[in-house]
Structure 1
């Protein structure tokens, strides 16, 4: 099998809705060469070798629709391109990207296929595709392949490039079927995400939003200032003060009364926080460690009990978690370090990466844990007696969900603390012995109010139920079912797209909306050109959707752009198809038949929202066939009111736009409104240019679908000219 190979002829990243699916995909043009003559069942031992390399392929259902379906296809005989699709998807799954869409389709060239897989991130999916090819060839040629090392490399790449868990859960909640708020990642890496489009969009960065005040965030970082503000408003906080030396720290401890806590005044993630300190040497040692973690040190009263993290979103309690106490038990042979590794760090939920809910504990890097161990008479290399319990961390990760236990007064106090600091989303840390009781009776208190709190503890608690914190944040950002959408219009077809898009944008502007237009004539915002040249592409549309001044957007979408890039928006209010001349599209991106042209053009109709409309040319049989695929309304247009499609459509009480007696008519069933004479519309050359009349009808139908009234449409048609 040495001569057998799989070659990538071309790889395209379709970063938005496309002919395959609503989601971004990688589309690879793959030449399997001689393997076209060698389906899987003709390669001795291949089935067994593939299973040995990737046993989890058993979960792939494939065309049989049942567990093991894909491997059954392999055993019966299938081709390398189909197997490449499944192997790539499984490598993505093992790297932490579960599920996903996949297809493998022949082209007219023998042995050449289009392999399509869901792309969670372009770089990661490309790497999975290449690794999938190498793994598949190794199985075909009976060669070794390092699956574990490959998956580890891919998982590391995914961790670095994909959204973090906090941002990811918010985006997932926003884009869920019951909200369908669009999401745009504003950077290729990192967690800055825009939810919604244009003027109605909001932005998040992990658990911070565009309403998270910089002043409030600054206050939260200053622990002493936070305590001062909270105390002044009657919120219970532990007594304490800033100190400037180890000696001053001990003086403060004596004034407050032992035990005390020593911590940085502006630290985070509990670094450098020493609790339950009882002796001078402990206080002074803690000061030396805490001072390097921040710009100052606070000594405050030690509050007995467990630490709790209350997540406050928009003034309401969204979730609450209780902190863990980490301990080891001696076996008479292992050191403290070894016991930590075997009894604590062996927990699969612990890791250094953000997606792990629990942290790795290493005494060498954790002065708080070292002090706790030394207070019990041990060093990292000490060997505790068998059965001896050693406390490692008094208060660490918040692992137990206690949301349902929080006393209403305590929840109200935490909410007040967030409002005093000024945070829309806050992680309020409080210490008490019983979270189900008010704080006052147990001398509990709030010790910190944090901006940008981690959400993973609430998504993956050790005990108790996960909480929908992403949904709570989305509901706060977009209340009352708001979907963050502006009117989006997509225009495609074989010709006339540019003119129709420009006319629709002009009508939207005339209606009072600050309108963006991405067309082959340029990129425009409110009639001002901000980029010359062809912008009828993903990049031009993306710029408008990011522009927070844009209140409505019109996009010209050529079939080449749909096939090579995908569309920039997930759904649209109006989708227009001007006309079809199938031969114009043949020979590009492997489009060779009218059926393939149909597949490309239907992409625009597939994206119409249930509350929106498709505006289609009634004289085109292909577009009449596409019409039932629209989730929303269909508005037909045509030059002749007697077109059978128009007659039937109107008989059903639906909307259409047509010409009668040289006048444009908007008809809703039997109700008709004449809006303008063709002779008064410059674009139609006095009613003598049929293709321009169709363009006017298409734009009028789109404007009508957008709720623009007849008077404005009339004025817009009569004043629009092409420069």
Structure 2
């Protein structure tokens, strides 16, 4: 068979929120198979064998068969290349460390053109995986060479560049477990947890509760020690010095051995331990001077280095350090021994996913100084059996949380409170963390703001600790989820008017309301942008606004298809009609059944304590009632309509028109509410000055939505009487 032309990627679209495919962000790819439409996998000689040889873990993909080996069965029976690309991309993401299980491929109305989607936590990582998967697929089809390991490495590099770091990702995962939404605010690790006025923010392991003053204190080791000592926390004696000679004088005064370190360094840089000789102290001073603005000389505290994590005043995790040594064999140099005996440890690596760092002595002057103190250089060959100290600190990755003595935990917690940090990494030196510090001469040597969590999440030895959960529990009370009420309104006619009326009623009910609709972007009654804001970006901005405690968002079918919803879940989801299909041809939405799948997204995301509001006069919308996790409220023009009568008979809530007024009914109970006729007359009188579209159905939708938001009927009635249809210029 001659070489096949590449599958064309016609369109790549990142759906950033819930969409017609799934609740989560996906990358949607439109594919043109070209001549390969006539060649499913079973008609491509040797293709399945080449592909499974390149990606053997494809046997784990269940696919539609629902069991291990399901996708391989589909390959052997014959499946089209768009579906194959879906599974290749998913497998590449799995191999790169971003586990992905969701994908779908569906044909379109054009022969050979398919829509393929897969779960995409990050757009750039997903695009990279797609590009690599596309190349791999064509190589397998045409029996060409392809380096899978290199492709996975490129995806992993993109993941490291673009995705959240492991500490931040652990906190976000814990938030997701508690159904707290999150928004990434920059390309790094600044993340918003929750929405609007109920949000909190984290930046790795710092929070919006972390005091800038406390962070400044923690960065000054001498000031930290002074404050801790004043509160009875054991710290090593020490002094700040200005010169190497002064360092030696201080060491003699304190008593040898000593530690020399920068006053404002971090990650152990420039810290030299157990110094006993004048030349060593003076050399250590020069090294510390390079890493900080001031140099400290402290009494040396014997024992192991420990890192205890304090969150909200409680010790939630602890890790112990260990020294790194090599043993001479009489053949290898010190540098070679480091590589063969230390850096071969699979727990060591250059990225944050590894609990221990690879040791590069050329980048760590402390290692070179310690070697010099042992009379060695990197290219020296130690005698067989000689143990050589390589690194005294920087290896804190052995979990010891269960061993921490209560007195130690109390002292460490006190240290964090004295400095003023809500989250702190407290460094303790002690022979045994299971004994009180005072009785063994142990001490707290540093208190760190923004501590790394990796040593607790992925220790080199011992059990991982749920530190992400501890931070989320610190930020949010047990009954809090960071959510504000969100009303999403979907349809084609009058939805912007429904949104404006609902926002007005919420405003009267005492809410600080954000509104995004085609009439603009509103904060309270004030319009802050006049351009069409019924789009993802504008809605997203409202969710980021700390001054907003309720949001109303107009969603068109086009915005759902182009971007997805701006929120993961909502309090109330409204569907007004099934119109507007003529404008959706570019998305290959040509039938009512296809439009139904798009619009149902709004109902799919209703919270269990929320409500779906549906127009009972549109028969197809009644089918969506069973999709709602929450309550269903129906509205319609005729209170005697069978759908409303049946719904009320089951105790459901309904809104309908009688005598020109909206009636709010539940079961057999009825409350006469807003004067709809008066509202329609006012709209008619101002029709030349307003963009609003309104009829009785639009008014009833607004009333039903306000009722779903638990606004009292009396206030709904007063709100419709005072709603002004005109918009200020």
Quick check: TM above 0.5? Answer: yes
Shift of 1:457: 0.3
Aligned to 1:718: 721
CA contact (8 A) 1:665 1:672 kept: yes
Pick the aligned partner of 1:357 from 343, 355, 360: 355
Q: Structure 2 CA distance, aligned partners of 1:316 and 1:373? A: 39
Query: Are 2:49 and 1:51 equivalent residues in the alignment?
Result: no
Shift of 1:37: 0.6
Aligned to 1:128: 129
Aligned to 2:434: 436
What secondary structure is seen at the aligned counterpart in 2 of 1:173? helix
Paired residues for 1:630-641 under 5 Å = 630-641=628-639
Paired residues for 1:284-683 under 5 Å = 284-581=282-579, 583-584=581-582, 587-682=585-680
Structure 2 portions without partners, runs of 5+: none
Aligned to 1:195: 193
Q: TM-score normalised to the size of structure 1?
A: 0.97
Q: Structure 2 CA distance, aligned partners of 1:497 and 1:219? A: 53
Shift of 1:682: 4.3
CA contact (8 A) 1:684 1:690 kept: no
Aligned to 1:239: 237
Q: Structure 1 CA distance, aligned partners of 2:246 and 2:581? A: 85
Shift of 1:702: 1.2
Greater alpha carbon shift after TM alignment, 59-68 vs 615-624: 59-68
Q: Structure 1 CA distance, aligned partners of 2:549 and 2:161? A: 34
What secondary structure is seen at the aligned counterpart in 2 of 1:615? strand
Shift of 1:383: 1.4
What secondary structure is seen at the aligned counterpart in 2 of 1:568? coil
Aligned to 2:32: 31
CA contact (8 A) 2:397 2:459 kept: yes
CA contact (8 A) 1:200 1:548 kept: yes
CA contact (8 A) 1:490 1:574 kept: yes
TM superposition outliers: structure 1 runs of 4+ over 6 Å: 686-690
CA contact (8 A) 2:558 2:584 kept: no
Q: Structure 2 CA distance, aligned partners of 1:341 and 1:293? A: 26
Q: Structure 1 CA distance, aligned partners of 2:596 and 2:602? A: 11
Paired residues for 1:3-82 under 5 Å = 3-82=4-83
Greater alpha carbon shift after TM alignment, 193-202 vs 357-366: 357-366
Shift of 1:464: 1.5
Greater alpha carbon shift after TM alignment, 165-174 vs 391-400: 391-400
What secondary structure is seen at the aligned counterpart in 2 of 1:142? coil
Aligned to 1:173: 174
Query: Are 2:94 and 1:96 equivalent residues in the alignment?
Result: no
Paired residues for 1:143-162 under 5 Å = 143-162=144-163
Q: Alignment RMSD, CA only?
A: 1.6
Q: Structure 1 CA distance, aligned partners of 2:624 and 2:287? A: 69
Question: Once the two structures are superposed, what CA deviation does each residue of 1:530-565 show, in whole Å capped at 9, x if it has no partner?
Answer: 222111000010110111111110000000000011
Q: Structure 2 CA distance, aligned partners of 1:331 and 1:110? A: 69
Q: Structure 1 CA distance, aligned partners of 2:586 and 2:615? A: 24
CA contact (8 A) 1:636 1:656 kept: yes
Shift of 1:462: 1.6
Pick the aligned partner of 1:271 from 269, 274, 282: 269
Question: Once the two structures are superposed, what CA deviation does each residue of 1:387-424 show, in whole Å capped at 9, x if it has no partner?
Answer: 22222112222111111111111101111110111101
Shift of 1:588: 3.8
What secondary structure is seen at the aligned counterpart in 2 of 1:587? helix
What secondary structure is seen at the aligned counterpart in 1 of 2:210? coil
Question: Once the two structures are superposed, what CA deviation does each residue of 1:231-265 show, in whole Å capped at 9, x if it has no partner?
Answer: 01111100001011110001111111111111000
Question: Once the two structures are superposed, what CA deviation does each residue of 1:346-396 show, in whole Å capped at 9, x if it has no partner?
Answer: 122212222221111111111222222222232111212222222211222
Greater alpha carbon shift after TM alignment, 106-115 vs 58-67: 58-67
Structure 1 portions without partners, runs of 5+: none
Shift of 1:665: 1.1
Shift of 1:584: 4.0
CA contact (8 A) 1:585 1:597 kept: no
Q: Structure 2 CA distance, aligned partners of 1:468 and 1:684? A: 59
Shift of 1:685: 5.7
Shift of 1:691: 5.7
Aligned to 2:712: 709
Question: Once the two structures are superposed, what CA deviation does each residue of 1:451-491 show, in whole Å capped at 9, x if it has no partner?
Answer: 00000000001222110100100011111231001110000
Shift of 1:147: 1.6
CA contact (8 A) 2:4 2:36 kept: no
Shift of 1:34: 0.5
Q: Structure 2 CA distance, aligned partners of 1:39 and 1:560? A: 33
Pick the aligned partner of 2:703 from 700, 704, 708: 700
Instruction: Label 1:684 to 1:42 Cα distance change in 2 as closer, same or farther (>3 A).
Output: farther
Instruction: Label 1:213 to 1:610 Cα distance change in 2 as closer, same or farther (>3 A).
Output: same
Aligned to 1:255: 253
Shift of 1:683: 6.1
Query: Are 2:118 and 1:117 equivalent residues in the alignment?
Result: yes
Q: Structure 1 CA distance, aligned partners of 2:584 and 2:179? A: 35
Shift of 1:51: 1.5
What secondary structure is seen at the aligned counterpart in 2 of 1:625? helix
How many residues align structurally? 720
Shift of 1:699: 1.0
CA contact (8 A) 1:401 1:461 kept: yes
Instruction: Label 1:115 to 1:691 Cα distance change in 2 as closer, same or farther (>3 A).
Output: same
Q: Structure 1 CA distance, aligned partners of 2:130 and 2:45? A: 24
What secondary structure is seen at the aligned counterpart in 2 of 1:353? coil
What secondary structure is seen at the aligned counterpart in 2 of 1:639? strand
Shift of 1:686: 8.7
